[in-house]
Amino acid sequence: MANVALSEAEKTFILHGVEEDFRCDGRSRRDYRPMELECEIVNNASGSARLRLANTDILVGVKCEIDTPTSLHPDQGKIEFFVDCSANATPEFEGRGGEELALELADTLTNAYESPSAFDLKSLCILPGQHCWKLYVDILILECGGNLFDAVSLASKAAIFNTRIPKVTAAVMDAGEAELLISDDPYNCTRIEIDNIPILVTVCKIGDCCVVDPSAEEEQCSTASLVVGVSKRNNKCYVSHTHTVGGGSLHKDTMYKCLNLGVTAGATLNDALEKALRLEESRVGNKRKETVGFLK
């Protein structure tokens, strides 16, 4: 991750701020930084979103392709996460420099989406045992300003919400092999249910307190953090994934505290995201804002 050089005094300053529940940018321990989200940025993808959380900039493109289901799960589609750390973010990512971080992010997302109640792979199946959709969720990290996990998961969820999978209108059976006719009408499409899709919340332990949405500077002051995947179902929150990040260790009690904070923060964040997405979706005609992308 982008390394910020901090002196001892600066670290102490951040630490004291967190202890008094008044962080450097004026937030409390459970506040997020403002974010901007925009969907449909890339025309070549089936769905796309760009999220900017303070200085963290994430671009996600979703592409769907037809694939054959695995013999183990003939009635399920596939989803694959691919993260690319662009050298635009920091020169350290040049060449293969960002691969380790990219793998960590992709694996975390894969794990969080693994449970059938978090993401329903069955909805991606076309013909059991023969054809299914494979979703490629390609994540591009353009700038690192701390809290990558949360930003990446939010952007992915938004991009999946934006994804339009063309309807398969008819299948012609030809000698036992099904041949699919895929609709090329852009409005004749199915959408993906996002209600249960998990988001990730990073809870960062700084001193004796836990904060959400750490900035790059705060990440430097922390020895250990916990990433919690929060998935909602029937208005209840479930933890779909969790893992610790960083070299330090957490006490058992602290970890429960972190988990609790992560789940409450995740629930609020999830509601806010879904509300924003649906509001944007309901705007049609003149009320719809023009896509600004990076020109803003």
Partner 1 sequence: MSNFDLLSEQGLRLDGRRPHELRRIKCKLGVFEQPDGSAYLEQGNTKVLAAVYGPHQAQNKKMDINEVVINCQYSMATFSTAERKKRPRGDRKSQEITLYLRQALRAAIKTELYPRSQIDVYVEVMQADGANYAVALNAATLALVDAGICLKEYVVACTASLSKNNIPLTDVSNHEEISGGPTLTVASLPTSNKIAFMEMTQRFHLDNLPKVIEQALAGCREIQAIMETAVRKHLMQMGSAGDWSNIAK
Q: Which residues make up the interface to partner 1 (CB under 8 A)?
A: 2, 41-45, 48, 55, 57, 59, 61-63, 65, 82, 84, 86-91, 94-95, 136, 138, 140, 142-145, 293-296
Kindly state the DSSP code that residue 100 receives in the 8-state scheme. Answer: H
In whole angstroms, how close is the CB of 221 to partner 1 at the nearest point?
19
| Token couple for 191 | 């959408």
Sheet holding 224-233, edge to edge: 209-212, 199-206, 224-233, 236-245
Give the bridge partners for 64, in sequence order: 135
Nearer to partner 1, 61 or 266 (CB): 61
Nearer to partner 1, 84 or 114 (CB): 84
Nearer to partner 1, 42 or 226 (CB): 42
- Which among 120, 109, 65 has a CA at the least distance from the CA of 83? 109
Nearer to partner 1, 24 or 272 (CB): 24
In whole angstroms, how close is the CB of 128 to partner 1 at the nearest point?
25
In whole angstroms, how close is the CB of 234 to partner 1 at the nearest point?
34
Nearer to partner 1, 174 or 184 (CB): 184
Cβ neighbours for 179, distance < 8 A, ≥ 6 positions apart: 171, 172, 173
* Contact by Cβ (8 Å): 86, 93: yes
Nearer to partner 1, 83 or 126 (CB): 83
In whole angstroms, how close is the CB of 131 to partner 1 at the nearest point?
18
Cβ neighbours for 213, distance < 8 A, ≥ 6 positions apart: 27, 31, 32, 33, 53, 146, 147, 150, 202
- Which among 4, 142, 118 has a CA at the least distance from the CA of 61? 142
Nearer to partner 1, 256 or 294 (CB): 294
Q: Write the CA distances from 212 to 206, 227, 260, integer angstroms.
A: 10, 10, 12
In whole angstroms, how close is the CB of 88 to partner 1 at the nearest point?
4
In whole angstroms, how close is the CB of 142 to partner 1 at the nearest point?
7
In whole angstroms, how close is the CB of 68 to partner 1 at the nearest point?
17
Kindly state the DSSP code that residue 124 receives in the 8-state scheme. Answer: G
* DSSP, residue by residue, 85-99: E-TTT-GGGTTTTTH
Q: Residue 198: which H helix or E strand, with range? A: none
Q: Which residue has the tokens 């909805």?
A: 123
